[in-house]
């Protein structure tokens, strides 16, 4: 029977504790070498360091010019992109996800503030016969075409 709201949970595995199979698998992966997380982080750091070294070369006193500088910049962007992809893959294991938050915007007197939608653009004249046929039908709510 599920526990009632406000009463502490009794018995069973505590939240976040892995079961025996998961714990054994994690121990086996750790015992055989680097974990996938360690490899992702190592690759992200390597690519990032490589990009920093190339950036220093590009901004140094003997910096290449012209096509050579452009090729070096492409190389920097490639390493930065690689670092970002590995960091993104590792992030869920390192940083917790933020919970969704309901925003309750209130004025100084306590009343709810409603969002205002401002639409700008050219108004459609439904009586204009020069307007395209699909625009007048869609604006009138009688559109026969599906998008």
Residue-wise pLDDT for 34-53, tens only, equals: 888 899 999 999 999 999 99
Residues 68, 74, 78: CA angle, nearest 5 degrees = 145
Model confidence band, residue 146 (pLDDT cutoffs 50, 70, 90): low
Q: Are 140 and 133 in contact (CB under 8 A)?
A: no
Task: Give the span between the Cα atoms of 74 and 70, in whole angstroms.
Answer: 6
Both tokens of 113, joined, read 């503030």
> Domain for residue 133, yes or no?
no
Structural domain boundaries enclosing 53: 34-94
Q: What sign does the dihedral 17-20-21-24 (CA atoms) show?
A: positive
What percentage of the chain has pLDDT greater than the value 70? 73
How many separate domains does the chain show? 1
Residues 47, 53, 57: CA angle, nearest 5 degrees = 140
> Domain for residue 7, yes or no?
no
User: What is the predicted pLDDT for the residue at 67?
Assistant: 93
What percentage of the chain has pLDDT greater than the value 90? 31
Model confidence band, residue 104 (pLDDT cutoffs 50, 70, 90): confident
Q: Average pLDDT for residues 114-120, to the nearest whole number?
A: 74
Task: Give the span between the Cα atoms of 141 and 127, in whole angstroms.
Answer: 14
Cβ within 8 Å of residue 131, ≥6 positions away: 124, 125
> Domain for residue 84, yes or no?
yes
């Amino acid at each position: 029977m599920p526990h009632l709201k406000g009463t502490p949970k009794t018995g069973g595995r505590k939240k976040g504790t892995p079961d025996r199979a998961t714990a054994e698998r994690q121990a086996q992966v750790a015992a055989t070498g680097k974990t996938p997380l360690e490899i992702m982080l190592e690759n992200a750091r390597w690519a990032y360091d490589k990009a920093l070294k190339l950036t220093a070369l590009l901004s140094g006193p003997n910096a290449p010019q012209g096509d050579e500088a452009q090729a070096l910049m492409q190389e920097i962007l490639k390493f930065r992109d690689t670092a970002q992809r590995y960091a993104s893959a590792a992030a869920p294991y390192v940083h917790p996800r933020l919970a969704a938050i309901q925003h309750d915007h209130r004025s100084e007197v306590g009343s709810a503030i409603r969002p205002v939608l401002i639409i700008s653009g050219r108004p459609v004249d439904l009586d204009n016969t020069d307007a395209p046929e699909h625009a007048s039908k869609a604006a009138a709510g009688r559109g026969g075409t599906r998008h």
